[in-house]
Amino acid sequence: MAESATMDSRTQLKKQAGEFAAGFVESGMVVGLGTGSTAIHAVRKIGERIRTGELRNIIGIATSIQTHKEAVQLGIPLMQDTLPRDVDITIDGADEVDPEWNVIKGGGGALLREKIVAQVSRRFAIVVDEDKISDCLGTRFYLPIEVLRFGWESQKRFVESLGARVEIRKNSDGTDYATDSGNMIFQAYFGPMQDPAALSAKLGARAGIIEHGLFAGLATDLVVAGAKGVQHQHKERR
């Protein structure tokens, strides 16, 4: 019963954070629609605001097939996946956030599309419950790394050489997980990361690593829901 109550409480916090950030959206905007259990509440709130007529001339870009399906059901107009326009604001969740607003994302497997959309967004709002806040990335969550299937064992050895313990993400039936782009996901356990930027550069320079879940210097807004309510901070992108 206590565990169930805790889960209900966390769900409520996620809902509060997501719905708060949905308030950043204004009529006429191009909006990045995030993926995951917190961002989905923002997507649903945006859909509600469109249905009531509060928001007009909104066009969304979904960061995953899952979110795309949800947006269609909610009646949110969507632009082509080619991203013909830049994005006014993207609202997305995170698995871990450090004091500098460096973020680990990708627990839901959508890190590649999420980062593409984040990088073309004028504002990138991260929405989390207070349990996702950390003094140092890697303390609370592993680093997801999306890799090409060709040569994946060589990439595993490379990531291990950087100090990580690597697991291959699996589906519930034991088969290898596949991202929306058909790639594999490594779950890389680095432990506390003293220099996320340096690690990001090493992973980004490696052929065969499609993308990784370190989002550094992208967040412009941080929305945290906790016992004291919803806290919002904003800063200009570096």
Label the pairing between strands 59-62 and 30-33.
Answer: parallel
Is residue 153 annotated as part of the catalytic site, yes or no? no
Q: Let me know: does 42 contact 91? Beta carbons within 8 Å.
A: yes
Determine the longest span between alpha carbons in the chain, in angstroms: 54
Task: Classify the C-alpha dihedral 217-218-222-223 as positive or negative.
Answer: negative
The whole-angstrom distance between residue 40's C-alpha and the CA centroid of its chain comes to: 11
Q: Round to whole Å and give the CA distance between 16 and 224.
A: 9
Task: Classify the C-alpha dihedral 5-94-229-30 as positive or negative.
Answer: negative
Count of CB atoms within 10 A of residue 23's CB?
Answer: 13
Catalytic position from the list 70, 114, 146, 211: 114
**Residue type (1 letter), 98:** D
Q: Round to whole Å and give the CA distance between 30 and 138.
A: 32
Q: Which two tokens stand for residue 45?
A: 């709130």
Q: In what order do the strands lie in the sheet with 30-33?
A: 59-62, 30-33, 87-92, 121-129, 221-226, 229-234
Q: State the catalytic residues.
A: 114
